Structure 1
Amino acid sequence: MHISSAFDGGNIHCLHCTDPSDIQLEINRDNGSDFYQWFYFRLSGAQNTTCVMKIANAGGAAYPKGWENYQAAASYDREHWFRVPTRFDGETLTLRHTPTFDSVYYAYFAPYPMSRHGDLIADAQMSPLTQDYVLGETLDGQDIDLLKIGTAGPGKKVCWVIARQHPGETMAEWWMEGFLSRLLDADDAIARAVVDRAVFYVVPNMNPDGARRGHLRTNACGANLNREWQDPTAERSPEVLLVRQKMQETGVDFCLDVHGDETLPYNFIAGPEGTPAWDDRRDLLLQGYKDALRRVNPDFQTRIGYERDAPGKANMTLCTNWVAETFRCLAMTLEMPFKDSAITPNPEEGWSPERSRKLGASCLDALYAVINRLHDEGA
């Protein structure tokens, strides 16, 4: 048997794997940080052998409650991902599986490699609606891609959609596939209507370095990008700095920041209600967007989520809060689960890439429901 993770997005340290009933593993920390929870590795040479893989340091992970009622993802072809029996005893996360083939991959969630990110950008730029820009480089020298979709003009709204500030939250870029595919579909009436009313600026992957390095939450130097929006620097968080600069150039009427939540088995939206300038108009817009999304996609719900910040007590280093306050606009954070969706379970796959894509497509319906009320004159 052999354990490996020396590939794009891989993360595991093999302590020993001589006995298939006691394979001992550890997750590596994000570089320059104490965060860890993302894992992605390959097991070879164990066909038809019952394997018990124990992640010994799971109890010290960033979100240990994320392991409760969690089932790890597995794949033979890296296209179809299914869930395997997983148990957490408070210290060790144990995966039990009998591979059907010689080689099998295991991951915290279905990975989204940088090669697929490149394909996503290349495919999107083939649309006549799209312009592809490189905002600049990450600390590791990777491109920060920005897609501009549609054209700016008098009366048109400016919509920003970003994903994967936290690189281990790969469902966010699977969501992007569904969102972009529908937005660029010339035969979709909703897509045509929103592009007629708005210009879109889309960053499908805010954290290419963390994605390639196999990080859970940070970039190359250990910065949590979603805590950098108040004072980003080129030395620590160029990804946020460059996107902020472009936002200040274009203005913002709407911003959706797409994430995954380790602990809660639900799809939900967190708003910027605790920002100093939050008002009733934007609160109605936020509720309108959430209600519209709930109506069109039963995987989304509005009952369970994060506790609402008290007025004036929002953490202004977060993207949603900084954008909402700076531009007096509707800004939101969409969260999806690493686990299965508790209200619409699928035991074989759990929350999955395909369900993430479908939710991404549904978010256009919700935007269509509120787009004419974004940043009304005099607001």
Structure 2
Amino acid sequence: MYRLIWFVICFFCLTSCKSSKEFTGFSYDPVDVTNTNDKELDPQPKRIIGADSPKVWVSNEFDGARANDFYALNDSTFEVYIAPENAPINNSPWYAFKIWSDTVRMAKIQLNYRDATHRYVPKLLSWVQADSSWEEQWELEVEYDSTNGTATFDVLLANDPIIISGQPLHTSSKLKKTLWDREIIGHGFVKVREAGLSKLGRPIWELDITEVAEDQKAPVLTLVGRQHPPEVTGYLASLIFLEELTSDSELAKKFRQTFVVKAFPMINPDGVDLGHWRHNAGGVDLNRDWSNFNQPETRVIRDALSWMKNHDLRRMFYAIDFHSTNENLFYPINQEVKTTPDDFTQKWVGRIIENNPETEFRIEEFDTSSPIAKNWFYNTFGIDAITYEVDDSIDPEQLDSVSRSAANLLMELLLEEWEKSILEN
């Protein structure tokens, strides 16, 4: 098994060469993505729109919503038109809207996108009074038209609104409650502080998790999440990691007595709450701004961590940037690049694959030229780091089991590497 794993890793290492050319974007990036100065937005008008008679209503008047217009195509089919915050933009068309009807009826809903084709399977969310929240009830079966990129589904409508969204809603105002509900915060060894503010003044929260004394030398693990608003499965994986890091297990206790964890679960709260496809309120892909730092969100993380460079008591050791895509995908730094600790990601990924044989993973190594989060960690601290991508449509039980496995394997290996570094020095 190990031979197969290392064959895959070595293959990608050999086929992913370092480049001396100026980075202008990955193959899936739009033109000008590395220009991270503010770009003009095309805000969606917040409103309630009615169509047909008796009326079917759609609203985008809530955090996380995205629905630019609404039409009746005929007496049973309705179109929701969805446009991005600005363009050009990656094919990550987020949508979320409330919908209801004056009468009980079946309706066919067609999602029509500008500058994109359908990506996220629609989820039906209904209001749960006991929890005072919108919770996912089920996924809807979709008929996809590959010619025009639309998606169509049937739904039963009534007077009580439901929400149709690309992923479950996890907006910025819910973050601290979610951390409490998951028992991530509320411990004596977890401190929560406002690291800074987003472009529109929303707080960016930092969690400091450790049982190490302030005057004791300790390595640091950093977790970053939600740079891209619709990438909810990666965000949920990061929360499961935090659950394991703050658990009562003997491994977690030993880890906290050795390591400091710095976690930033949601660094693009504006984009999340505005229902953006990918960008922040400056119209910029934050994960291309880790060189120029033109946007306040990336500056917040930089300023919260840079003081540890060459610090006597706190040594940055490893970093994970959580995302989502259409598969479970690891983006390590090229194995040929010397990091401290060296080849950590390749070792960790190998263990994840071995311990989760029922889950399909892919590995794609990259050089350190692009202005993305993991490369900033390497270029600033000399450490290894990874972009950790979770399948958009992963089964919730599989997401839970893989994330817990990966988190515990991470703690085990980080402890091994730290002990090794102490012996070597």
Correspondence for 1:220: 281
Letter in 1 for 2:153: R
Aligned to 2:409: 366
Equivalent pair of 1:177/1:360 in contact (CA under 8 Å) = no
Deviations 1:206-255 (A, max 9, x none): 1011011011211111111100001103xxx1111121122212342010
Q: Which residue of 2 aligns with 1:347?
A: none
Alpha-carbon distance in structure 2 between the residues aligned to 1:127 and 1:57:
44
TM-score w.r.t. length of structure 1: 0.82
1:134 to 181, 194, 217: 194
Which of residues 313, 316, 326 in structure 2 aligns to 1:252?
A: 316
Contact 2:71-2:79 at 8 Å conserved across structures: yes
Is 1:287 the equivalent of 2:346?
A: yes
- Cα 1:273/1:220, change in 2 over 3 Å: same
| Matching of residues 86-101 of structure 1 within 5 Å | 86-90=142-146, 91-99=148-156
- The unaligned stretches of length 5 or more in structure 2 are 1-55, 128-133, 309-314
Matching residue of 2:301: 243
- My pick for the range that moved more, 147-156 or 105-114, is 147-156
Task: Kindly provide the CA deviation profile for residues 280-306 of structure 1, in whole angstroms up to 9, marking residues without a partner as x.
Answer: 9622x212211222344456544x244
Alpha-carbon distance between aligned partners in 2 of 1:329 and 1:23, rounded to the nearest angstrom: 52
Structure 1 segment 316-327 matched on structure 2, within 5 A: 316-327=370-381
C-alpha separation between the residues in 2 aligned to 1:254 and 1:153? Answer: 21
- The equivalent residue for 2:166 is 108
- How far has the Cα of 1:358 moved from its partner? 4.2
The answer as to whether partners of 1:289 and 1:367 remain within 8 angstroms in 2 is yes
Counterparts of 1:339-354 in structure 2, within 5 Å, are: 339=393, 341=394, 351-352=395-396
Larger radius of gyration: 2
Output aligned runs, 1:130-279, within 5 Å.
130-150=190-210, 151=212, 154-186=216-248, 188-233=249-294, 237-250=295-308, 251-261=315-325, 264=326, 266-273=327-334, 277-278=337-338
What runs of 5+ residues in structure 1 fail to find an aligned partner? 342-350
Q: How many residues align?
A: 348
Percent of pairs identical after alignment? 19
2:126 to 55, 76, 80: 76
Residues 305, 103 of structure 1: CA spacing in aligned structure 2 closer, same or farther, 3 A cutoff? farther
Between the aligned partners of 1:356 and 1:203, the Cα distance in structure 2 is 20
In the TM superposition, residue 45 of structure 1 has moved relative to its aligned partner by 1.8
Q: 2:425 matched to 1:376?
A: no
Q: Secondary structure at the match of 2:108?
A: strand
Return the offset for 1:27. 1.3
Is the counterpart of residue 26 in structure 1 residue 81 in structure 2? yes
Q: Which amino acid aligns with 1:97?
A: D
Task: Assess if the C-alpha contact under 8 Å between 2:279 and 2:285 holds in 1.
Answer: yes
**TM score, norm. by length of structure 2:** 0.74
Q: Secondary structure at the match of 1:99?
A: strand
| SS of residue in 2 equivalent to 1:120 | helix
- Letter matched to residue 289 of structure 1: W
Contact 1:176 1:357 in 2 (8 A): no
CA contact (8 A) 1:226 1:318 kept: yes
